[in-house]
Structure 1
Amino acid sequence: MSPPPDTPPDPSDPRLELALRASNEGIWDWWTDRQEIYYSRRILEFLECGDRRPPNIFLPPHQSIHPDDQESFAARLRGALSQGGPEILGVDCRVRTGSGEWTWLRIRGTVVRDRRGEARRIAGSMIDISRRKKAEAQIEEERHLLRELIDHVPVQIYFKDVDSRFVLVNGKMAEWNGLGDPSEVVGKHDRDFFAAEHWEDAEADEKAIMQNGEPITGKLEHELREDGTETWVLTSKFPWYGKKGNLRGTFGVSSDVTKLVLVERQTAALARELAERNQAYEEEVHLAREIQQAFARPDVPDISGGGLSLNFASRYLPISGLAGDFFEIVPLGPDRVGLLVCDVMGHGVRSALVVSMLRGLMEKERRNAADPSKFLTGLNRGLSAIFERAGITMFATAYYAVIDLGAGELRCACAGHPCAILVGDKGITNISREKKERGPGLGLMADARFPSVTETIRKGQRLLLFTDGIIEAEDETGQAFMEHRLAEAAMETRDVSLEESLNHIVHTVLSHAEENRFDDDVCLLAAEFVPAPVVAAKV
């Protein structure tokens, strides 16, 4: 005989057990007139009860519920228990586990009532949502950090819809338009701030950009307001596309050049200064576009010395158009070269901006590029100063190696990054593996130290530098690929070409990864020590 339709599912039903195992959920069953409650094995694992009797979290005073969640939890429960209340109990809250830690649980239940509408029984499911809550908190923090960075940039940043109405602006843009808060600009049009002479021209530019998809960069705009106030800005505007490629409108950046233009009217010398600033700004715009191209085509120098020469191979696999991983090959002479692999915290616009900062700092520290310790120290001090001025907390990990064929040495320094792998006929060497051989991430502490490690190089060896996206790729069980598997894959292919070896490594990691894809940006940079080609003597 079938159970009545309001009876909760039987926990012993094998089909239910299979479904719950697949969804990682557990079930619970509570008769409201009893102290005891039934928890399935999965819920006991969530609560870390072991062999102890688990608490009934639905009984007041709800001491197992986090203090910040007790009020909402109790209110939802009272509603479900009230006569004629809702048929479904649903609440997300933090619950104290047997180890004393807090874990987020999504709790759902069906209320069974008698004919008077009194709640007799509630049964349902629970699932651990701690990772999701942590990810949501991290995304919210990243949005806050990005907003902080945008509002501290000394230029006007804005997004407009297809009707040229503002969708998002930074604090500088709100201030430029005489408003105190960026939200006051949203929904407005340039006509709300400027005379027709300016806003009609600006709107025409934006329509042209949306029609042909071509940006307008470095345009000097004369802004005229209704009260007669005149300003000049240097503006670049671009088409704005959504994630699915649909046209959303335009976005742009403008910098105030009013003083320069006014002085330019008086002296030709300051007119040249304005042109130089214009050129510098265009170069910055060009650099921003280069960041989105992921630095996938490095210049490979010819390096030889000590009877050896170098072969290089690389792979760069960003998961989005704006990535935080990059690598650089730094020529230091005919027999020396520097290899840098870097991973900036997070993804998207924020990380891409930091990448551009690091590339600028690299040029500044070029004089120290032969010394890994000094090179990373310089990058760290520069990045720490930028973050301190912007009032944000970020960091980047990096690994820098200098190959000196003349001296037969490999000198390396590490800034919180996965250690490099040296593959040879004697096996695998993990460089900078010990804690004392490693420094912290770049941008965290201005006075951090980055010890240098030296290894002797031999013919036939291969050096592999990489970012954590390759070793943190997880299978469907959440197991990461890890460094030891990467070392094994590199060792397995030491007898094939360097290009084939990297192809094999990427294929091996993708075969391990869930859905055969990476969840983080991936950088691989490899160098092989091969015999230098023999140059025939002239007769």
Structure 2
Amino acid sequence: MNKPENTELDENSMLLKASPKRLFESLMEQTADRIYIKDKQSRFVAVSQALADMHGFADRHELEGKTDFDLFSIEHAQQAFDDEQKIIETDKPLINIVEKETWPDGSTTWVTSSKAPLHLNSGKLAGILGISRDITDQKLAQEKLAQSEQRLREQNAIMSADYESAHKVQSVMIPGRVPKIKNINIAYLWKPMTAVGGDLVNFPRNPNNCLLFYLGDVCGHGVTAAFYTVLLKYLTAHQGEVYQDDPAAFLNAVNKEITGLLKSGFVTGMAGHFSRREEDGSRTLHLSNCGHPLNLVYRAATKTIESIFLPTGMVMGLPGGTASDKFNLKLEKGDRFYTYTDGILEASNPAGEEFSRQGLEDCLLQHADQPIQETLNILYKTVEEFTGTTDQQDDITLLAFELT
């Protein structure tokens, strides 16, 4: 039985028997890298076929005796020559440097290049051994990526500036003019989730000079929702000019104008006005809502919080929607009325627990002895402490009135 021939051993034997010169020639003929040996005057002594091909020479030996000045632009050739002379002077290599190659026709390529001093067996410095690898495609891709990143940074800077400008404008617009009414303290809290938001507070002027207010919450967040607050600000101001002591008619008129303008969205809203002050300091608050039925009242006489459930009206912006019938709420001197968007109730902590209506009631009751604006400020700080590291998930807006 014949023993199988060990092909791998035979191949290794062939390599060992080959002369160093033949191995060197095979390397220079077959490698994809640009390998070269130069003398101390930076003249090519030997080059790989890949390098010759790069310069348009079919025979690599044709490059022997030439220099970079014969192949590249003067700018690149001079830089390469200076680098190589420094290697010869210092006897120190340059490893993995990135070189920009400029050609006589004006084109540009990029390589990573390593150059080292070449010593003969005697130890005497004979020249330079170098290897270059083309990275033009990689470099161009990096430059394209860098340009894209720069454009993105510029666009982000523009967007950030636009956001900041929009925030300043919306901060002035919401609530805008806050009326000063004798014996009524007004407070509000407006904290959008981002630089701009979809919550709106407005106090439209009206023919009877009563305290008329509107609180709205546009579905969604950010710039799109903020655009609709501008529209709602205008529409509520316009309807305020013809207000006839009927918050339901007011909301229905606004709804008629906005229906069909909100693509796949809607608005919840609340409107109301205060009647004239009675001799005992009480007033009646006339209310109507569109999908915004929950409110709170602090009763000064009993030091308690009451939930006020209004008749539910349909949200604004959808065909056929109507506001709830007018609801009359009697408030006594010292009482406070709170209305708000749902962002404060849904504020969550890292455990996923919501601040909730109970948390809102507890905080308002606990700090009812504070001025009404300070009560809202404390409330927001309490919400921040509750949510901790959790990002704000919705716009937070509260509107409060106190009879004095």
Structure-1-length-normalised TM-score: 0.42
Contact 2:202/2:213 (8 A) holds in 1: yes
For 1:296 and 1:355, locate their aligned partners in 2 and report how far apart those are by CA, in whole Å.
9
Say if 1:446 and 1:517 are closer, same or farther in 2 by CA, change over 3 A. Answer: same
Which residue pairs with 1:413 in the alignment?
Answer: 288
Give the CA deviation at 1:290: 6.6
Say if 1:481 and 1:300 are closer, same or farther in 2 by CA, change over 3 A. Answer: same
Structure 2 residue corresponding to 1:299, chosen from 160, 177, 183: 177
Say if 1:315 and 1:241 are closer, same or farther in 2 by CA, change over 3 A. Answer: farther
Say if 1:459 and 1:395 are closer, same or farther in 2 by CA, change over 3 A. Answer: same
For 2:216 and 2:200, locate their aligned partners in 1 and report how far apart those are by CA, in whole Å.
5
Structure 2 residue corresponding to 1:346, chosen from 196, 220, 225: 220
Which residue pairs with 1:382 in the alignment?
Answer: 257
Sequence identity, in percent?
24
- Structure 1 counterpart SS, 2:368: coil
For 1:527 and 1:465, locate their aligned partners in 2 and report how far apart those are by CA, in whole Å.
9
Which residue pairs with 1:258 in the alignment?
Answer: none
For 1:330 and 1:370, locate their aligned partners in 2 and report how far apart those are by CA, in whole Å.
12
Which residue pairs with 1:507 in the alignment?
Answer: 381
Which residue pairs with 1:463 in the alignment?
Answer: 337
Matched, 1:497 2:374: no
For 2:264 and 2:244, locate their aligned partners in 1 and report how far apart those are by CA, in whole Å.
26
Give the CA deviation at 1:514: 4.0
Give per-residue Cα distances to partners, 1:425-476, cap 9 Å, x unaligned: 3322222x25xx0112110233424222111111001111211111110112
The residue type paired with residue 303 of structure 1 is: I
Say if 1:468 and 1:338 are closer, same or farther in 2 by CA, change over 3 A. Answer: same
- Structure 2 counterpart SS, 1:374: helix
Contact 1:377/1:448 (8 A) holds in 2: yes
Matched, 1:527 2:404: no
Which residue pairs with 2:245 in the alignment?
Answer: 370
Give the CA deviation at 1:517: 4.8
Which residue pairs with 1:430 in the alignment?
Answer: 307
Matched, 1:476 2:350: yes
Which residue pairs with 1:77 in the alignment?
Answer: none
For 2:181 and 2:403, locate their aligned partners in 1 and report how far apart those are by CA, in whole Å.
10
Contact 1:324/1:352 (8 A) holds in 2: yes
- Structure 1 counterpart SS, 2:307: strand
Which residue pairs with 1:10 in the alignment?
Answer: none
For 2:189 and 2:154, locate their aligned partners in 1 and report how far apart those are by CA, in whole Å.
27
The residue type paired with residue 291 of structure 2 is: G
Give the CA deviation at 1:344: 0.5
Gap runs ≥5 in structure 2:
1-152
The residue type paired with residue 299 of structure 1 is: R
Contact 2:260/2:318 (8 A) holds in 1: no
For 1:471 and 1:369, locate their aligned partners in 2 and report how far apart those are by CA, in whole Å.
33
The residue type paired with residue 394 of structure 1 is: G
Contact 1:401/1:412 (8 A) holds in 2: yes
For 1:514 and 1:454, locate their aligned partners in 2 and report how far apart those are by CA, in whole Å.
39
- Structure 2 counterpart SS, 1:365: helix
Say if 1:361 and 1:496 are closer, same or farther in 2 by CA, change over 3 A. Answer: same
For 2:243 and 2:222, locate their aligned partners in 1 and report how far apart those are by CA, in whole Å.
30
The residue type paired with residue 528 of structure 1 is: E
Structure 2 residue corresponding to 1:312, chosen from 183, 186, 204: 186
Gap runs ≥5 in structure 1:
1-239, 252-286, 531-539
Which residue pairs with 1:401 in the alignment?
Answer: 272
Say if 1:290 and 1:359 are closer, same or farther in 2 by CA, change over 3 A. Answer: farther
Give the CA deviation at 1:500: 1.7
Say if 1:242 and 1:483 are closer, same or farther in 2 by CA, change over 3 A. Answer: farther
Structure 1 residue corresponding to 2:318, chosen from 426, 432, 444: 444
Say if 1:250 and 1:494 are closer, same or farther in 2 by CA, change over 3 A. Answer: closer
Contact 1:416/1:440 (8 A) holds in 2: yes
- Structure 1 counterpart SS, 2:376: helix
Larger Rg: 2
Say if 1:242 and 1:473 are closer, same or farther in 2 by CA, change over 3 A. Answer: farther
Give the CA deviation at 1:337: 0.4
- Structure 2 counterpart SS, 1:362: helix
Structure 1 residue corresponding to 2:392, chosen from 518, 521, 529: 518
Say if 1:343 and 1:455 are closer, same or farther in 2 by CA, change over 3 A. Answer: same
Q: RCO higher in 1 or 2 (8 Å CA, sep ≥ 6)?
A: 2
For 2:294 and 2:160, locate their aligned partners in 1 and report how far apart those are by CA, in whole Å.
44
Pairing 1:99-118 to 2, within 5 Å after superposition = none
For 2:172 and 2:392, locate their aligned partners in 1 and report how far apart those are by CA, in whole Å.
16
Give the CA deviation at 1:292: 4.0
Which residue pairs with 2:232 in the alignment?
Answer: 358
Structure-2-length-normalised TM-score: 0.54
For 1:454 and 1:460, locate their aligned partners in 2 and report how far apart those are by CA, in whole Å.
18
Say if 1:248 and 1:310 are closer, same or farther in 2 by CA, change over 3 A. Answer: closer
For 1:502 and 1:484, locate their aligned partners in 2 and report how far apart those are by CA, in whole Å.
16
Give the CA deviation at 1:249: 12
Matched, 1:488 2:362: yes
Contact 1:414/1:438 (8 A) holds in 2: yes
The residue type paired with residue 444 of structure 1 is: L
Matched, 1:323 2:193: no
Pairing 1:18-417 to 2, within 5 Å after superposition = 242-243=155-156, 246-247=157-158, 292-293=170-171, 295-296=173-174, 298-304=176-182, 309-332=183-206, 336-366=210-240, 367-368=242-243, 370-387=245-262, 392-406=263-277, 408-417=283-292
For 1:372 and 1:299, locate their aligned partners in 2 and report how far apart those are by CA, in whole Å.
20
- Structure 1 counterpart SS, 2:230: helix
Report the RMSD for the aligned CA atoms in angstroms. 3.0
Contact 1:335/1:405 (8 A) holds in 2: no
